[in-house]
Amino acid sequence: MTEEILRGVYHCKQDLAPYWPGEWTAINVIVGERIAIVDTGIPGGESLVWHVLDSLGRSPADIVAIVNSHFHGDHTGSNGALRSRTNAQIMIHVLDAPRLGSGEIEGPSAGPADVALEDGASIDLGDRELQIVHLPGHTPGSIGVYLPDEKALFTGDSLQARGTAVQFIASYADPEAYVASVRRALALDIEHLVPAHAFAPFDDSHLHGPDVRRFLDISLDHARELDELIASLARSAETPLNVAAIASEVCARYGFDATSPMAVATVDAHLRT
């Protein structure tokens, strides 16, 4: 499904089946005099972009920037297919650039990034500008893309509330960096927040008005809650527990019988800090 969620911002939801049935990832088409794509989904995502352009009477050549919020394959899988018909540069934060193309879900290779982004970088669309906000934690180079004229922040997986329905546990590799990123987002002038997935307890991947602050507050509270829970489980065990065992206990507390690899990674990150 594709909808215009803000002026000139088209939010395309790409089904993630068979990888994660019932989930989607968002591809955002930001239209000005020139056009930028924020995240490209899994292979096949380019068809959603072409549909938007056709409906607007715009050319693929109008796309000048393909911005990846981080290196994971459900955000970069259509990079190659999109660049093959455009003049666009592929852009990703300098810390994630070496791992571009190493995600588990990849389409035709687009090669290395053309632009290694840093915090504060801007992308000129003629009558609009995008600003890069470094929001590490999920990955070292996770970013937000800020659209000042709409006070909108596109966050990929950088901020996660209580995680997706896969586990209801936020997924990050560095808890301290993640909390700092949530705090940074709280300090920004944001009226619209556009993550890449529906993060619980929200059922959509674009949030507006009071829901923006609520999402960020939940993200912060959840990270603290996880830290306390994981520490408590590790201390109270009669015999030392390995990471997988603690992750299983954490998932059980949130109502999940199975333990996802993402949950194990988050627990491991907390135990290492």
Residue 50 lies in a domain: yes
pLDDT digits (tens, 9 = 90+) for 69-102: 999 999 999 999 999 999 899 999 999 999 998 7
Residue 104: predicted pLDDT: 63
- Residue in 84, 20, 14 with CA at minimum distance from that of residue 51: 14
Residue 106: predicted pLDDT: 64
Residue 93 lies in a domain: yes
Residue 230 lies in a domain: no
Segment 19-45 mean pLDDT: 95
Look over the chain and give the mean of its residue pLDDT values, rounded to a whole number.
94
Q: Kindly tell me if the per-residue pLDDT of 117 is higher than 80.
A: yes
Taking CA atoms, 180 is separated from 4, 135, 138, 272, in Å, by: 31, 8, 12, 17
Residue 80 lies in a domain: yes
Residue 118: predicted pLDDT: 98
- H/E stretch holding 123: strand 122-124
Segment 138-156 mean pLDDT: 98
Least confident of 176-185, 230-239, 264-273: 230-239
The whole-angstrom separation of Cα 217 and Cα 79 is: 33
The whole-angstrom separation of Cα 262 and Cα 257 is: 14
Contact 121, 92 (CB under 8 A): no
Number of domains in the chain: 1
Segment 52-59 mean pLDDT: 98
Encoded tokens for 56: 């607007």
Which residues span the domain enclosing 172?
2-209
- Residue in 144, 232, 130 with CA at minimum distance from that of residue 181: 144
- The pTM of this model reads 0.95
pLDDT band at 107 (very low <50, low <70, confident <90, very high): low
Residue 1: predicted pLDDT: 87
Residue 103: predicted pLDDT: 66
Encoded tokens for 229: 């829970």
Q: Kindly tell me if the per-residue pLDDT of 109 is higher than 70.
A: no
Q: Kindly tell me if the per-residue pLDDT of 174 is higher than 90.
A: yes
Residue 260 lies in a domain: no
Q: What is the largest CA-CA distance in the chain?
A: 66
Segment 210-231 mean pLDDT: 97
Residue 253 lies in a domain: no
Residue 109 lies in a domain: yes
Q: Kindly tell me if the per-residue pLDDT of 180 is higher than 80.
A: yes
CATH of the domain at 58: 3.60.15.10
Residue 25 lies in a domain: yes
Q: Kindly tell me if the per-residue pLDDT of 240 is higher than 90.
A: no
Strand partners, 258: none
pLDDT band at 19 (very low <50, low <70, confident <90, very high): confident
Q: Kindly tell me if the per-residue pLDDT of 25 is higher than 90.
A: yes
Segment 25-38 mean pLDDT: 98
Segment 123-152 mean pLDDT: 98
Of residues 152 and 239, more confidently modeled:
152
